[in-house]
Chain A
């Protein structure tokens, strides 16, 4: 409940900040020929983005609409809700696959490199994750793109696709479309997976190392459990606990990363919507995306609490 209040406040804050710092009026006044000021005012008031109305009054109107699930309209009068409907799906597809696959691979890579501490594979994983951690998403994405272009050229076929979610005007049945979508999905998702993998594997490695030296893992092996089972059931499970907490924090980063990925690969998702709305001084749309982001961070936080409780029996007993 407390966190829902936080989301509400965060969104309101975003709305007020956006209302103060963005000026959609310039869109109308900059038209050629310039419309009469009264018309502009009337139009802006109709859309509830008139900067002559006090910000609190605008906020009141907007919040009133929001209680009925209406995020208002964009600066040129389209419904923000309609716009978001398709975009949310696009973003969630990227984010879900990125989080889940990246998280699982990160945990495995971290655990693997901890078990083989100071072997070449450990060094390789550590170095790689360091390199990826130090590469901003917008460089990483381009790097992948260049590699993919090289691969396409080498194979002589269009294996990876770079822009959009689908090829325009594609003919064919279900399978053709599915394969086409997958081809478009690979690069943006890879970007997010790599970023996620690098963070998680670093933490997982150090958590795993802490656990590997502990008594209960030695006991588990001493009582005759095969090494593999001892490591998986006793060590990995305990070492997952800190990663569960990290998950909530890293999700915010992933969200920002998705903004870059969507923009670079031309996906029409929420991240792209956000950047475009700020550039177009669109107050209502900006606030709506912030609300979406805050909700996702909240859900990530809740999920990480659930993981925590699943993994750590002590939390459940309390």
Chain B
């Protein structure tokens, strides 16, 4: 294990309240430290920039194009990319550029929401199971094991006909409900070791309630793990979402997701490449960027994993 190369202390000029400059040695804030370590990692920074660019493309891009994703150009069927249609058109004359960006929006939003919900769920379940122990622990871990036995993909696919025609938010909840188990196990393990720390014991003996101890003392101490996990979950969620939508088990038409688009373009990947590669390429770009950022964050937050 190498020692982090960055200094733990920085000397800064700080204005005191009365305006007189004051020389002071101050511990670098944890956030600043993480930020600097993150900035040292070129690939991670590239990933972050790529994510920003992709978001901008997804949410600002539609204003640049001339076509709406619902519109059909009846003078251009299945045409290669041109000045009129930047990504070409589909067999029914829809603009692939508009469709792809619309699909990106949906996939990005679904990914973010799912990651947020599932990581929160994992944190709460894992922390309660680890902190309370006993039968609570056993019941919760049993549920985790049960959900791990069946690939989530199958269950969501089975349930998909019943949310056909419903809002896609239901789909988000379902995805989140099947993505939290492994993290919950890790959180539980960390909580068990945190449970015996002095500050937690002190809080307990002072009569602080269990939910409060978990919220105020346990969760903040594993926040770095949770942040990294949430990032990784974004890409996992996007892959799961597009995969389900690929088979028609996810986001339903008329709404568009990258998965639907890729499924529609798969058979023409060789003959009409624009139908497949724009959606496919952007999907890979999103997931890759998120993964790079997640990896960089992990290294920045946890110096012992720098070698990864």
Contacts of B153 in A (CB 8 A): 256, 259
B149 within 8 A of A: yes
A275 within 8 A of B: yes
A255 within 8 A of B: yes
Interface readout for B116-147 with A: 1 if CB under 8 Å, 0 if not?
00000000000000000000000000000110
B269 within 8 A of A: yes
| Majority SS at the chain A contact face | helix
Expressed in whole angstroms, the minimum distance between the Cβ of A292 and any Cβ of chain B is: 10
State in angstroms the CA–CA spacing of A42 and B145 once bound together.
39
State in angstroms the CA–CA spacing of A129 and B304 once bound together.
22
Contacts of B288 in A (CB 8 A): 130-131, 134
Expressed in whole angstroms, the minimum distance between the Cβ of B177 and any Cβ of chain A is: 13
Expressed in whole angstroms, the minimum distance between the Cβ of B242 and any Cβ of chain A is: 6
Contact: A279 with B248, CB < 8 Å?
yes
Q: Which of B148, B151, B266 contacts A256 (CB 8 A)?
A: B151
A10 within 8 A of B: yes
Known: A130-B288, A213-B1. A138 touches B246 (CB 8 A): yes
Give residues of chain A (32-61) contacting chain B, Cβ–Cβ below 8 Å.
none
Query: Which of A19-27, A68-76, A82-90, A234-242 forms contacts with chain B?
Result: A19-27
Contacts of A130 in B (CB 8 A): 288, 291-292, 295
B276 within 8 A of A: yes
| Majority SS at the chain B contact face | helix
Contacts of B150 in A (CB 8 A): 10, 13-14, 290, 293-294, 297
A190 within 8 A of B: no
State in angstroms the CA–CA spacing of A290 and B242 once bound together.
21
Most buried by B among A7, A138, A143, A274: A138
B10 within 8 A of A: no
Contact: B155 with A142, CB < 8 Å?
no
Q: Which of B157, B235, B292 contacts A278 (CB 8 A)?
A: B157
Contacts of B307 in A (CB 8 A): 117, 206, 209-210
State in angstroms the CA–CA spacing of A264 and B247 once bound together.
11
A289 within 8 A of B: yes
Give residues of chain A (269-317) contacting chain B, Cβ–Cβ below 8 Å.
274-275, 278-279, 281, 286, 289-290, 293-294, 297-298
Known: A213-B1, A290-B150, A297-B149. A21 touches B235 (CB 8 A): no
Contact: A256 with B243, CB < 8 Å?
yes
B284 within 8 A of A: yes
State in angstroms the CA–CA spacing of A3 and B145 once bound together.
9
Contact: B266 with A138, CB < 8 Å?
yes
State in angstroms the CA–CA spacing of A286 and B155 once bound together.
10
State in angstroms the CA–CA spacing of A20 and B163 once bound together.
12
Interface readout for A184-205 with B: 1 if CB under 8 Å, 0 if not?
0000000000000000000001
State in angstroms the CA–CA spacing of A101 and B160 once bound together.
34
B162 within 8 A of A: yes
Contacts of A133 in B (CB 8 A): 291
Contact: A136 with B287, CB < 8 Å?
yes
Known: A133-B291, A252-B151. A290 touches B158 (CB 8 A): yes
Contacts of B145 in A (CB 8 A): 3, 6
Contact: A139 with B151, CB < 8 Å?
no
B residues with a Cβ closer than 8 A to A are 1, 145-146, 148-151, 153-155, 157-162, 182, 235, 239, 242-243, 246-249, 262-263, 266, 269-270, 276, 280, 283-284, 287-288, 291-292, 295, 305, 307-308
8 A-B Cβ contacts within 8 A?
A130-B292, A136-B242, A136-B287, A138-B266, A139-B284, A278-B249, A293-B151, A293-B154
Q: A17-B158, A136-B284 are in contact. List 18 more A-B contacts (CB 8 A).
A: A9-B146, A13-B155, A21-B159, A23-B161, A133-B291, A134-B284, A136-B239, A138-B242, A138-B262, A145-B269, A210-B307, A256-B153, A275-B157, A278-B160, A290-B150, A293-B151, A293-B154, A298-B149
3 tightest A-B contacts by CB?
Answer: A134-B288, A21-B162, A134-B287
A residues with a Cβ closer than 8 A to B are 3, 6-7, 9-10, 13-14, 17-18, 20-23, 117, 130-131, 133-139, 142-143, 145-146, 149, 205-206, 209-210, 213, 249, 252-253, 255-256, 259-260, 263-264, 274-275, 278-279, 281, 286, 289-290, 293-294, 297-298
